[in-house]
Structure 1
Amino acid sequence: MTRSVVSRASSSPWRRFIFGSFAAFLIIWANTGRTRRRDGPVDIGAGDGWSLLRPKEYPEGYDYCRAKYLGAEGYRSLSKTHNLQTLHIITRHGDRTPALPFPDTPNSPPTWVNACPPTEYAHLTPSERGFLKTLSLGDDDDEKEYWAGRCNLGQLTYRGIEQMKDVGRAVREVYLTGRVEWEGGKTPGLEEARFRSTDVWRTVQSAQYFVNELFPVGNASSVGEQQPVPLEIRPRPIDALGLRLGSADLRALYRKTRAHDRAFLAYHQLSTQFAAHMNDAVQADYEYSLESWFDLLQTRGCHGYELPCAAGKDTCLIARDVESTVWLAHEWLRLEYDTQMGDRRKESVMRIGPLVREILSKRRSDTRIHHYSAHDTTLSGLLAVLASGSHTLKLQQAAHAWPPYASMLVIEVWKPKEESLSNDGGDGEGLDVRILYNGEVMPWLINGEVKEVIAWSKLRSPLADWLDA
């Protein structure tokens, strides 16, 4: 998540009064019923407590801790009328540990014990596909013993590993076991697939476990027995997959847009005040931002850990704190990827545009499966761009909901078996496209009609207009 950066320019006294009053109300409401000197903290683990992490406007079944998977039984193939030509799969990594250390509170251990693999590294090999990276742990027993049962910050957990295996297995069952007909009559093999990841340990590992299930090799149980797979990793400053603020021009524009955006300034004021309330409640030894609290509480909640308490457990965070944090964090998400107007649109083109161009350029290629192992921010940015072109409620909801762990955006490019079956009406390339997100088809509004399958030209045209803005 990108930290908020705004100028110190103040808003009007009247706006400060309104949002200051609302912040005070939110903090008072969160403190109402707060138990002091109680026996233990509130547990927000699995079960009904997770309703607090699912805002009312979210689609039914939303769960931050685990995305819904693309299931073979519910998948509707287009193979009666089309052949599948190209597949783009963008995934978020699986469950991970917090990106920042936990506040130093009585019930916040400094390490997550037995949650992470000690020696699991991606198995990579050189290729001609560009930037590469090779990792190895070696046979140092002391090093293995040190890492056993200890998690690094932001590390993929055992649960996250299983999630990515499930996703890879689900994609294989849908697309590589005869349920769809591929162009040319041949199901793609490993040599026709391309894998790419950001330069982050958890996404590299997520790609590893995804591809191990997508193209399993016998019953290989160790890295040495598995087939090496090329994995493209670009240096962070020039990697479009991470949607990072790499260039100086983009960073300057990012600051400028937020310094003059009234909605963002209001959010920043409110979130700063509420984060200060949270830090004070647990007597945190570090000034965590609202976005940091969101990450800390979500990762903790997904593992059923107790809410943090102050020294002596005199004061513990409660469910209302979680609810308010989640609400504010989603306000950040809604404001972060504005693709519509002025400088915000220009910023989104600079930030998200390179990845969109890359996907659009690969509708026809020798590589038929493209997998991108990325982050929640990557999916949020792409969903925001797609939502601006589709004009449908379903994609709008998807764009405003934080992508759960192991989320997956799939772009299917189909070629009609007969020209008369194409959706482009003769004005395009004779290709159709369908978009799925976490197992559900994302429809588009075309000439007042909601369609699940649209011409490639109908997808390309609004995105090209946005890119040219």
Structure 2
Amino acid sequence: MRRKTRRVIAIGVAALSCFLVVAYVFSESKTHSLAENSPRNEKSELVRLLENHCNTVNALENIHLPESSEGILQNAEIRQIQVVTRHGDRSAIFTTPMTHSNRFRCPRESDYAKTSESPPLSPCRASQLTRTGCEQHRKLGNFFKRAYGLSNEDLESKMRISSTRYQRTIKSAECLVSGLLGDDSFSQSEIHLTSSDCFATSDDTDTGYLQRCPRLNSIWARLKLQLKYVTMATRWDAIRRRVVDFAGGRSDLSLTAIGDTVYTHYCHLRKSLGDPSVTPCLSPGHCLLEPLTLEVVKAYDECTTFNYTEEVSILLIQPLVSQIVAQMESVVLGKSDMKFVHYSGHDVTLMPLLIALGGWKGRRSPYASRIVFELWQKEEDNDNCETSECRYQVKILYNGKALSRRGRDVFSFGEFRTWVLDGPLRTVSAYRNACMTGSLER
């Protein structure tokens, strides 16, 4: 009898155990099913970083919305707009096993700024502006026209366009002006070219600034001897080696080439090829995993930005900022009526400028990013200014957001001029001395 009772109890326990296991499996299956069928949670950190970098045309179509503060200052008239931009979407600079460069499509050189048709596309060269990149800048030019109420008559003989000597920056400038003017009458021959990424002028008597600062290389060499850099470089190389192993042992792949591949794949190739993969692939189904790709993106950005200390940034960008001040001063003194000035550059143009202005957030500037310097003239009967430097106001914005200084978004031209020219590089001679000795006078 006892044996029979024990057998019944054992069978009961087994049955209960089976029931609980089945119930658990069903519950888990239902939970996973709900998770799969419910809307996706917020985007991964990698996707957010890549999407921000791409700065899509759709995003640029929305910059006229209230979150943009450009063209807004009460009781004042806009007198001058100076814009420093990064070029638009481009093809890859480097060829890697994960970069199918022949799949990038770009307009012909003569077709970029055309507004009346969709030009035929052909394979891009390395680092060439894509049609998407052109459209980004065309949208930007159209936005400036609306935000500041500019007409073609306003801009006639009152516009100056400068660019570095790269196809992607020159064509970005052309496309921006075509959006600004609403036609394709502007030609590349009207663009002032410079071989300096930070728009340093030639070493001449007009400015006294050096096109290349000799001491920068020694400053960078000193930075790379620091323990912090050595530690970070070791980590960067470990990440690079993991990608090299994935790519079949291509030991010549640099972290810069890998990072460039990740960005260009997501911003351009992924969309144009209809590729669902967030990360670049060697072949269908053989793609970089997202966690490693996120490490690549962060390391690539760290590697690029490490060299841009405040000291280096000031040396790099002082010539450009001095040009910006000079353009404003000519208007303030009544010597010029220049309305729109554009500097078409790179992320390494915007980065030191943002650091010098105190607006750097530690992230690489997206394609078609912009820093805008607005010069406003206040209504005379609305203030107590006795000098023109007080009556003229300056506002600086990065991608539509005002850059504050000492808690203020707007300051007089006199304050801005003093801040720039009476700062660490108080005079041209102080700048030249710093470039020759590698030390800034404080």
Whole-angstrom distance in 2 between the partners of 1:194 and 1:232: 8
Q: Secondary structure at the match of 2:102?
A: coil
Aligned residue for 1:118? 108
Aligned residue for 1:203? 169
Whole-angstrom distance in 2 between the partners of 1:257 and 1:52: 29
Q: Secondary structure at the match of 1:384?
A: helix
Q: How does 1:36-115 map to 2 (within 5 A)?
A: 51-54=45-48, 63-66=52-55, 69=60, 71-74=63-66, 77-78=71-72, 80-101=74-95, 103-104=96-97, 108-113=99-104, 115=105
Which of the residues 123, 126, 129 maps onto 1:150?
123
1:290 aligns with 2:255: yes
Which of the residues 338, 342, 347 maps onto 1:371?
342
Q: CA deviation at 1:311?
A: 7.8
Whole-angstrom distance in 2 between the partners of 1:210 and 1:170: 10
Which of the residues 356, 366, 369 maps onto 1:385?
356
Aligned residue for 1:141? none
1:466 aligns with 2:437: no
1:263 aligns with 2:228: yes
Whole-angstrom distance in 2 between the partners of 1:275 and 1:425: 60
The structure-2 alpha-carbon separation of the partners of 1:292 and 1:48, relative to structure 1 and needing over 3 Å to count, comes to farther
Q: How does 1:50-449 map to 2 (within 5 A)?
A: 51-54=45-48, 63-66=52-55, 69=60, 71-74=63-66, 77-78=71-72, 80-101=74-95, 103-104=96-97, 108-113=99-104, 115-120=105-110, 149-177=122-150, 188-217=154-183, 226-228=185-187, 230-236=190-196, 239-240=199-200, 246-259=212-225, 261-303=226-268, 304=270, 305=275, 306=277, 307-309=279-281, 316-339=287-310, 345=311, 347-365=312-330, 366=336, 367-387=338-358, 395-397=359-361, 400-418=362-380, 421=383, 428-445=389-406
Q: CA deviation at 1:159?
A: 0.9
Q: Secondary structure at the match of 2:364?
A: coil
Q: Percent identity?
A: 22
Does the CA contact (< 8 Å) of 2:396 and 2:402 recur in 1? yes
The structure-2 alpha-carbon separation of the partners of 1:249 and 1:172, relative to structure 1 and needing over 3 Å to count, comes to same
The structure-2 alpha-carbon separation of the partners of 1:78 and 1:52, relative to structure 1 and needing over 3 Å to count, comes to closer
Does the CA contact (< 8 Å) of 1:245 and 1:351 recur in 2? no
Q: CA deviation at 1:239?
A: 4.5
Does the CA contact (< 8 Å) of 1:376 and 1:403 recur in 2? yes
**Cα deviation digits, residues 371-409 of structure 1 (max 9, x gap):** 01111111111111101xxxxxxx343xx2211111111
Q: CA deviation at 1:150?
A: 0.8
Q: Secondary structure at the match of 1:466?
A: coil
Whole-angstrom distance in 1 between the partners of 2:413 and 2:198: 28
Q: CA deviation at 1:265?
A: 2.4
Whole-angstrom distance in 2 between the partners of 1:250 and 1:329: 21
Q: CA deviation at 1:207?
A: 0.5
**Cα deviation digits, residues 335-363 of structure 1 (max 9, x gap):** 23211xxxxx1x33332221121112211
Q: CA deviation at 1:427?
A: 10
> Tell me, which stretches of 5 or more residues in structure 2 are unaligned?
1-40, 114-119, 202-209, 331-335, 427-440
Does the CA contact (< 8 Å) of 2:85 and 2:346 recur in 1? yes
Whole-angstrom distance in 2 between the partners of 1:294 and 1:237: 20
Whole-angstrom distance in 1 between the partners of 2:153 and 2:408: 27
**Cα deviation digits, residues 259-289 of structure 1 (max 9, x gap):** 2x33222222211221121111221535222
Larger radius of gyration: 2
The structure-2 alpha-carbon separation of the partners of 1:269 and 1:121, relative to structure 1 and needing over 3 Å to count, comes to farther
Q: CA deviation at 1:442?
A: 2.2
Letter in 2 for 1:188: D
Q: CA deviation at 1:194?
A: 0.2
**Cα deviation digits, residues 188-235 of structure 1 (max 9, x gap):** 223101000000001100111110111124xx6xxxxx2546110024
Whole-angstrom distance in 1 between the partners of 2:136 and 2:327: 28
Whole-angstrom distance in 2 between the partners of 1:237 and 1:155: 17
Q: Secondary structure at the match of 1:415?
A: strand
Q: CA deviation at 1:440?
A: 1.9
Normalising by the residue count of structure 1, what TM-score does the alignment of the two structures yield? 0.67
Q: Secondary structure at the match of 2:215?
A: helix
CA RMSD of aligned residues (A): 3.4
Normalising by the residue count of structure 2, what TM-score does the alignment of the two structures yield? 0.71
Does the CA contact (< 8 Å) of 2:80 and 2:375 recur in 1? yes
The structure-2 alpha-carbon separation of the partners of 1:427 and 1:235, relative to structure 1 and needing over 3 Å to count, comes to closer
Q: CA deviation at 1:322?
A: 1.6
The structure-2 alpha-carbon separation of the partners of 1:122 and 1:319, relative to structure 1 and needing over 3 Å to count, comes to closer
- The list of structure 1 runs, each at least 4 consecutive aligned residues, that deviate by more than 6 angstroms after superposition, is 424-427
Q: Secondary structure at the match of 2:300?
A: helix
Whole-angstrom distance in 2 between the partners of 1:334 and 1:385: 14
Does the CA contact (< 8 Å) of 1:118 and 1:150 recur in 2? no
